[in-house]
Amino acid sequence: MLRDNEVVTKECTFHPSVKTPRASKQSIDKPLEERLMHEADKRKERREKLKRDRENEQMKDCSFKPKLVSNSSQATVNINKLTGQAPIHERVGNLQKEKNERL
């Protein structure tokens, strides 16, 4: 039987080359939990980067660019000027008087 195996192996032309794992010495020294957390962080960063890239790609085609007001009180003043009305806190007394007169 042993002799048959020797004959068979001499006739075989395929000789696989088996490589050792690529695990670095640094990763072997770290505990498993730490390595897994590090890999999870890498995956999360990669997903976030892909999401940002996809959003940027979608926004590239958008032509509308709104003009944002940095100060909200300035925006309120501008709205009141456009509508020609005083702010609500100045009008509330008059509004209540008008309501009471109607009743």
Q: Is 11's pLDDT higher than 60?
A: yes
Q: How far, in Å, CA of 76 to CA of 78, rounded?
A: 5
Q: What pLDDT is attached to residue 42?
A: 95
Length of the chain: 103
Q: Average pLDDT of 74-86?
A: 66
Q: What is the pLDDT of residues 20-35, one digit of tens each?
A: 766 555 567 788 899 8
Continuous segment of H or E residues that includes residue 6? helix 2-11
User: What's this model's pTM, rounded to 2 decimal places?
Assistant: 0.38
